[in-house]
Amino acid sequence: MIKRTIERVLSWIGIVLQLIGVVAMALFLPLMGNSDFKDTVVQSMQEQDSSFTKQDSTEILDILSSLITFGLVFSIIVLIIAIIAATLIGKKAKLAGVLLIIAGVVSILGNWINAILWIVAGIMLLVRKPKNDNDDNKVHTQDDDLEYLDKEEQSASHHQNDRDNNYKY
């Protein structure tokens, strides 16, 4: 069994960062619906650029509000995919790797730090293979010894045949 500590750490760091982003958007979204906040922003926009009308400013805020709502829903979906992948790392590494790569590619426009962490963890899950410890941890049995002796006997008889065969050299 291969240890997947690095992949788990990268995945969970990305999940925590994504969760912080989701919470920030969730806290900011109610402000967009607050009329006092809208009036303050509209007034500020008109002070900075006199060409903005109140209607233009309100439309811009409505578009911004819908973008934040879409981003919040999108971020929650990506967060759920990443959490599922992180919980599957020990059981189904290949599936977890594919899910993390999907979450990373999908979230690359939103939060590229998470995307990089998840893509790296996903690639590591797909590429890393367990070490082959046939010689280190193998328990030798009597059958293994017989097989080894058989190979030695075959080698010895092969060398005897070479010496008996005068025409070989």
Residue 155 has pLDDT above 70, yes or no: no
The one-letter code for the residue type at 128 is R
Task: Please state the pTM of the whole predicted model.
Answer: 0.67
Q: Is 77 helix (H, G, I), strand (E, B) or coil?
A: helix
**Integer Cα distance of 141 and 52 in angstroms:** 86
CA angle 58, 64, 66 (to 5 degrees): 105
Please report the pLDDT score of residue 165 as a whole number. 63
Please report the pLDDT score of residue 58 as a whole number. 78
**Integer Cα distance of 79 and 73 in angstroms:** 10
Name residue, tokens 């929650």. 76
CA angle 2, 18, 105 (to 5 degrees): 70
**Integer Cα distance of 104 and 15 in angstroms:** 11
Please report the pLDDT score of residue 31 as a whole number. 80
- The domain segmentation of the chain, as residue ranges, is 5-127
Q: What is the mean pLDDT of residues 138-156?
A: 53
Please report the pLDDT score of residue 135 as a whole number. 47
Number of H helices, E strands in the chain: 6, 0
**Integer Cα distance of 159 and 29 in angstroms:** 84
Among 50-54, 98-102, 113-117, 141-145, the least confident range: 141-145
Among 48-62, 107-121, 131-145, the least confident range: 131-145
Q: What is the mean pLDDT of residues 93-115?
A: 90
Please report the pLDDT score of residue 43 as a whole number. 80
Residue 154 has pLDDT above 60, yes or no: no
pLDDT in tens, 17-44: 999 999 999 998 888 777 787 778 778 8
Confidence class for position 57, pLDDT limits 50, 70, 90: confident
The one-letter code for the residue type at 33 is G
Residue 102 CB-half CA count within 13 A: 16
